[in-house]
């Protein structure tokens, strides 16, 4: 999608600190980190949000979560704990309409989720 900022990151049209990349997925550091570790893991193909995930994307979603787990270990938060969030739509607080999973850790995170 040409006007999508995360598609531009996928295509390396705008810079980001990439921490993982394969054929279908990319992960990079959040530009405005809310915790010492704040990564975004996304599918390369433009999917707006979880509502748009199709049955044929199930394998992709499974692999995405495996990447989240691997990155948590690599960034030293697997044992201390971390949080994985995907925001959906307006009430969910989604700002960038390209499916992404936040991986947050490296400090005691707040308990307020809603
Ligand atoms: P959302 O609120 O949509 O779940 O989260 C979007 C996230 O993307 C925010 O945490 C924001 O800081 C991050 N973000 C927005 N634009 C960019 C960008 O150009 N580069 C990077 N690395 N992160 C971005
Ligand atoms: Zn996109």
Atom of ligand 1 nearest to the CA of 16: 22
Centre of ligand 1 from the C-alpha of residue 30, in Å? 6
Query: Cα–Cα distances in Å, from 26 out to 6, 9, 59, 63, 111?
Result: 10, 9, 15, 11, 28
Q: Which ligand is nearest to the CA of 43?
A: 2
- Closest Cα to residue 14, out of 34, 28, 25, 24? 28
| Arch. (CATH architecture) of 5-105 | 2-Layer Sandwich (3.30)
**H-helix or E-strand containing 21?**
strand 18-21
Can you give the pLDDT of all 114 residues of the chain as single tens digits?
789 999 999 999 999 999 999 999 999 999 999 999 999 999 999 999 999 999 999 999 999 999 999 999 999 999 999 999 999 999 999 999 999 999 999 999 999 888
pTM comes to 0.98
Q: Is 31 in the pocket of ligand 1 (CB under 6 A)?
A: yes
Distance (Å) from CA 71 to ligand 1 centroid: 18
30 CB less than 6 Å from ligand 1?
Answer: yes
Residue 73's φ and ψ, nearest 5 degrees, are -65, -45
Classify the C-alpha dihedral 26-6-42-78 as positive or negative: positive
Q: Quote the CA–CA distance of 99 and 63 in Å, as a whole number.
A: 14
Alpha helix stretches (DSSP H) within 11-57: none
100 is catalytic: yes
Which residue's CA is minimally distant from atom 24 of ligand 1? 31
């Amino acid at each position: 999608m040409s006007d999508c900022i995360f598609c531009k990151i996928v295509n390396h049209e705008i810079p980001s600190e990439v921490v993982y990349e394969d054929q279908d997925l990319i992960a990079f550091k959040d530009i405005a980190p809310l915790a010492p570790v704040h990564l975004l893991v996304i599918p390369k193909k433009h999917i707006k949000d979880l509502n748009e995930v199709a049955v044929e994307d199930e394998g992709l979603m499974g692999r995405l979560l495996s990447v989240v787990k691997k990155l948590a270990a690599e960034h030293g938060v697997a044992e201390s704990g971390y949080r994985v969030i995907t925001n959906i739509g307006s009430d969910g607080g989604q700002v960038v309409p390209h499916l992404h999973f936040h991986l947050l850790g490296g400090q005691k995170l707040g308990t307020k989720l809603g």
